[in-house]
Amino acid sequence: MQYLVLPSELESGTVRVPGDKSISHRALMLGAIAEGTSHIEDFLTGEDCLATLAALRAMGVRIEQVSGTSVSLQGVGMHGLRPPRGVLDLGNSGTAMRLFAGLLSGQKFSATLTGDASLSGRPMKRVITPLTMMGARIESDDGYPPLVVHGRPDLVGINYTLPVASAQVKSALLLAGLYARGETFITEPATTRDHTERMLRAMGATLTAESRRIRMPGQQTLRAADIRVPADLSSAAFPMVAALIARHSEVLLLGVGVNPTRTGVIEILRRMGAEIQLENARMFGEEPVADLRVRASTLRGIDVDPGLVSLAIDEFPILFVAAALAKGVTRFSGLGELRVKESDRIHAMVRGLKALGLTVNETEDGAEIYGGIPAGGHVDSQGDHRVAMAFAVAATRADGPVRIADVANVNTSFPDFAGSLRSLGVDVTEREPGA
């Protein structure tokens, strides 16, 4: 599948983006091992989260999709998961694989975690190493999927400092730590998203977090909860930047999660001159939410603070696009983690921006981007959903048609992304290759 995007004058309007992917994964996993029935509203029905749902069903969890985005699941308790009959195919989801590695480490059975070609190329040693320290036994292909997790009911808590800031690894250790004897201590080199900690507390777990250090006693139980999932800020970033780089547009994004461990994208854009207002602030359980009012703005190039990287790790593809439409030069550094995402996102974005006639210098851990106007052309998204969506936004301001190849994986995080753009007046069509 490919996108064909024509230069478009963005209209003003109101957009509701899908539910948060990170929170949807965690709501399923924690609800599955809780006592009682959990209800999840505004669940993300993207392919990644549906893979997590299918894996839990394969381990005996009763899950009902009451409506399109409403899910009810009957928790089986901490020790109620059953051995799956086959491998657990997690598709494109690195989050699911790393979190399941932690959850399954404390079970009394073995399970195999696999995924698509992209997921099979993503490093897993960063989660295997500390889980092994806790007593887990995990087989891999030299640190890459598939993973065979041999559950151990005798895990022990550890004191571990993450070598690289990673919410996925942190969450895997917390899930394993629920089953461990003793306490688990985790120290982060930089702040990462804390959805797991918030949801654990909402489900009755005891843990403390202070100065990037988390302490959690082991052998805890969870109780079911009703969870409303905020709209995903990572997905909202695409219509947000589309509005900012438009000539005349004002867009209201409804019910977006503004957890302070996720708002680096807003801070970076504001430093570039973006006019973004948070309105109607409220809470969905433990998660802060607001409506975001975004107005077309004159963006300027900046040196992006590396200290904000962990607060915006998934948003850099669209931030590269904002930089490409800004006045002057924007410099990104400290982005080495982007090289091991669904694609090498630094290289994929640099290559695509150059294909559209823009001046970009790639560095080891970032890029230097000179603002300009994209030309029409052809971009290969490398099968990366965030790269594909970023170039669809860039194409709205190009001086000719832009074709973006290999966009099927957009459905992992933002079902009907093209429809959301069309609602704002963007001329985008989805076509089979060669059409």
Among 228, 253, 274, identify where a domain stops: 228
Tokens read off for 36: 């009682």
Task: Identify whether 146 is preceded by a cis peptide bond (ω within 30 of 0).
Answer: yes
pTM: 0.96
Same domain flag for 304 and 245: yes
Helix (H) or strand (E) holding 284: strand 275-284
Same domain flag for 164 and 183: yes
Same domain flag for 295 and 343: yes
Say if strands 287-295 and 250-257 run parallel, antiparallel, or are unpaired: antiparallel
Same domain flag for 147 and 220: yes
Length of the chain: 435
What pLDDT score does 431 carry? 87
Low-confidence stretches of the chain (pLDDT < 70) are 434-435
Task: Give the Cα separation of 142 and 124 in Å (integer).
Answer: 9
Of 326, 343, 334, whose CA–CA distance to 380 is shortest? Answer: 343
166, 126 contact by CB (below 8 A): yes
Same domain flag for 278 and 321: yes
Same domain flag for 52 and 188: yes
**Which residues are marked as active site?**
314
Same domain flag for 224 and 235: no
What pLDDT score does 127 carry? 98
What pLDDT score does 240 carry? 98
CATH number of the domain bearing residue 215 = 3.65.10.10
Among 201, 228, 255, identify where a domain stops: 228
Same domain flag for 238 and 304: yes
Task: Give the Cα separation of 337 and 351 in Å (integer).
Answer: 18
What pLDDT score does 435 carry? 64
Of 151, 170, 168, whose CA–CA distance to 104 is shortest? Answer: 151
What pLDDT score does 178 carry? 98
**What is the residue whose two structure tokens read 């438009």?**
246
Of 160, 84, 168, whose CA–CA distance to 124 is shortest? Answer: 168
How many separate domains does the chain show? Answer: 2
* Structural domain harbouring 179: 21-228
Among 161, 193, 228, identify where a domain stops: 228
What pLDDT score does 67 carry? 79
Same domain flag for 206 and 256: no
Same domain flag for 212 and 269: no
What pLDDT score does 65 carry? 87
Same domain flag for 221 and 264: no
Same domain flag for 153 and 200: yes
